[in-house]
A and B are shown apart, each in its own frame.
Chain A
Amino acid sequence: MIAGLLAAGVRHFTGVQARWFGCDPDTTQRVYFANHTSNLDFLVLWSVLPSNARSQTRPVAASDYWRGGSLRFFLADRIFRGVLIERKKVTRSNNPMDQLVPVLQGGESLIIFPEGGRTTETDMRPFKSGLYHLAKAMPTVDLVPVYIDNANRALPKGEFLPIPLLCSANFGTPLRLLPDEPKDIFLMRARAAVEALAKT
């Protein structure tokens, strides 16, 4: 209930327009991966999913940031059901894949931001390798590129009060890891797929 109201609130505040170019808004299991410039990115992407898909789609978020306060943790844990992963000191014992792969095996979808953090530059940063490892572990899951536009203007990094500019989310054609595709090539291809959606 809270999640539904929050999603409606976000949609109205950001006036977000979702454009589904390469796939349909349905409950197909997916890994949505998007550019990351603002704390609004996740909310924008999450709010435009159909409500039945939203309830089985979980964001992958940085543990260090989202455990940083009790309200933040409540939101991340209870409302968004985020999968909080370690991004700074990854060791064998806290490997994020051990958390993410079981979520996909359980049939749920994920939202990830493969740049590893919010950028303030106009160009996207190179992708971290998590997307590749997910694709390798779960080769039958669709990987959907998403480009989120204007969220960085509505709520730039470092600001805490958003302004109600119109945002949009462009969903592209699903990708999969090709047989024997090297990691670097795959990650560049995935990044290019998000970039291409910026120009539509």
Chain B
Amino acid sequence: MRGYLIGLLALSLIFSSCDRHGCTDENATNYNPKAKKDDGSCFYDADPESFDRGPMLNNLAYNVIVPAYHDLDSTVNTMKFDIQTFVNTPNQTNLDNARNSWQNALIAWQYAGYFEFGPADANFLRAQVNVYPVDTSQVNGNISIGSYNLSSASNYDAKGFQAIDYLLYGIESNDNDIVSTYQNNSSIGVYLNDITNDLSQLVSTVYQTWNPNSGNYASSFASNTALDIGGSCNMIFNAFVMHFEAYVRSGKLGIPAGALSFSQTPLPDRVECYYHNELSKVMLDHAFNGLSNIYNGTHKNNTDGIGFKEYLDYLQTQGPSGLLSNDINTQINLAQNDAAIKLNEPLSDFVMNNQATALEVWDEMQYLVVLLKNDLKSAIGLSITYADADGD
């Protein structure tokens, strides 16, 4: 056994010694003194006693946010290629490929959507990438007129992932007719290509601004450890809580379930992916993962890094049934499991037939919002001061 371990150690030394890529941050747990070029693999063990916002922001920037944008960028590029292929040669195989890569890109978006501050905010990313319901009459109007300005705000709900959903699934009731529509009408393919390019450009702009090898917003984000209103903690906190509240809790479930209307009438056409409504629940599930990644500082490969959870561990903040750091994870899991078990695809039918159950899930998500918005915010000491205050 001992010999085996020594052998393993020796082997790993041999491997690491010829490895020039690795973690170059001396403060990281996996710091590799031989590494010449940082490959973003650093991770940090949180010592609750000596917690520091610097490594937390560093972890969020390089191991959570940048990889999320990288994923989004590469899946969108694949989608762009596959859609182009389909438009050039409309047939069932190419349609399936385009649909498949659209789905992957939209899943990647569920992780990247939480970062609507800085570069994403400056480019109005969310408003241009995933607005629903899609305005189909605007889409059809654009296609028949053949000239449109996609950067105009009036076209925000006629483009993005949901317009692609409509164009790949919703223009006809069966696949044969969809393929033949593309074969017979070139202007619809042109529009699909145009909105895909627009999406890809937007995503690429934001990704490149974050990218450490390009705009490197990641570095200025990671170094701004202040707690005041312009500090990174404040920006990312407000962004991810707001995204979860408005675009996940309300957008993906509350509005379709009628939780936000006077008459509480369900609105099935407000679900995400309405034209391929087998996916609405899948997207909600991924959005929960995205939230959990930020809160826990989890890397793409599921390695646990420093996130808000470790910050709360340092503060020893009390939650409803123990440490707040654990209570938030419990509530994320509870809401996510509730959504996974209680809701059924297609969500648009489910909210019509089982509204009460949908509203139960909504309640769990609602309570999660309180824990994040109130308990987490107060605990981490975000000092949002507008004037003198003596604490009353």
Specify whether A and B are partners: no
Give chain A's interface residues, CB within 8 Å of chain B.
Answer: none
The interface of chain B, by Cβ under 8 A from chain A, is: none
